[in-house]
Amino acid sequence: MTKEKRKARLGQVVSANMQKTAVVAVELTRRHPRYHRVVRRVTKFKVHDENGVAKTGDTVRIEETRPLSREKRWRLVEVVTRRNVAEVKPTEIA
């Protein structure tokens, strides 16, 4: 029996407005085959977030899994870093 290694990506949460789902943007850089310039590609993945721990701006690690819905094929493994959010409301500053 061969042990399969699942694909893992590191990305940033773009949206966490859905229930048990977050949208994670993963940036991939690669060299163009003809022009040899570094090209950036941003891919968005719908990620299953069972406990709703991911917030917009967090850096997260995601892992490939079986299809959970029409578009969800990834699940949240861990929140690597949290986004720094001010404790003060904008109205209190002025």
Hey, where are the domains in the chain? 8-83
Q: What pLDDT is recorded for position 76?
A: 96
- At 27-68, the pLDDT tens digits run 999 999 999 999 999 999 999 999 999 999 999 999 999 999
- Has residue 81 got a pLDDT over 70? yes
Q: Hunting for tokens 């003060």 — which residue is that?
A: 88
- 40: which 2 tokens? 């950036």
- Has residue 7 got a pLDDT over 90? yes
Which secondary structure element, helix H or strand E, spans residue 90, and what is its range?
helix 90-93
- Has residue 90 got a pLDDT over 80? no
CATH architecture of 8-83: Beta Barrel (2.40)
